[in-house]
Amino acid sequence: MGSVGKLAYIIYLHKGPRINGLRRDPESYLRNPSGVLFTEVNAKECQDKVRSILQLPKYGINLSNELILQCLTHKSFAHGSKPYNEKLNLLGAQFLKLQTCIHSLKNGSPAESCENGQLSLQFSNLGTKFAKELTSKNTACTFVKLHNLGPFIFWKMRDSIKDGHINGETTIFASVLNAFIGAILSTNGSEKAAKFIQGSLLDKEDLHSLVNIANENVASAKAKISDKENKAFL
């Protein structure tokens, strides 16, 4: 008998929306919304740029490439199969709240005079709209966008047509900033984490700081309320 030729099998890997019964091409869910493939992340093009953007060397902060990538990865990405930032986000969010409370206590408006060489604490600043806005998702998300960190974030967009509140962008981008704080706190200690927050996030002189973003958000909200009230009287 003559030899029987081997059968060739072609495996179809589906790209695009999920269809029951079809095997998906891994590349279709291993790319972030900016088209970056997770398995081909280049440290010079990603982690090193993130270190520079966040000024980590300035504060003597060392984060491994793996940890930075984890901070940039949300649970929604790749079905949660890659190390994601959920716990780091929770840790960082709490530490940021503590530091913003300290910031609010020490930065009165107007500032009270010092007594016996000590600055009077501004307890009335706690719980204000501005204080709450400092740690809001909107403020953190805007910070991430203004610092061009968005293209490095790995997440699954719910609906590209909808705005950030609906497609998940606002929450996910905010989680990335909190995750970096959590990563710094857990690997470099509270002192460096506090200096990073006070220097890079709460610097009044930086137009893109959380302080100035929060001020703009509060002012914008007040303007909208005033506009509605004026229209109501017309």
CATH number at residue 97: 1.10.1520.10
147-199 tens-digit pLDDT: 999 999 999 986 555 555 567 899 999 999 999 999 999 999 999 999 999 99
pLDDT of residue 157: 80
Model confidence at 9, pLDDT cuts 50, 70, 90, reads: low
pLDDT above 50: residue 110: no
Model confidence at 8, pLDDT cuts 50, 70, 90, reads: low
Maximum CA pair distance of the chain? 105
| Mean of per-residue pLDDT scores for the chain | 84
Helices (H) and strands (E) in the chain, counts: 10, 0
pLDDT above 50: residue 53: yes
To which H or E segment does residue 25 belong?
none
Q: Between residues 87 and 16, which one has the greater pLDDT? A: 87
| Residues 194, 99 contacting (CB under 8 angstroms) | yes
Phi, psi of 37, deg, nearest 5 = -85, 125
- Count how many domains the chain has: 1
Three-state secondary-structure class, residue 131: helix
State the alpha helices, DSSP H only, in the chain: 26-29, 47-53, 65-71, 86-106, 129-134, 137-146, 164-167, 169-188, 190-196, 210-232
The answer to whether residue 139 is domain-embedded is yes
pLDDT of residue 13: 46
The answer to whether residue 25 is domain-embedded is no
The residue range of the domain holding 84 is: 42-110+117-233
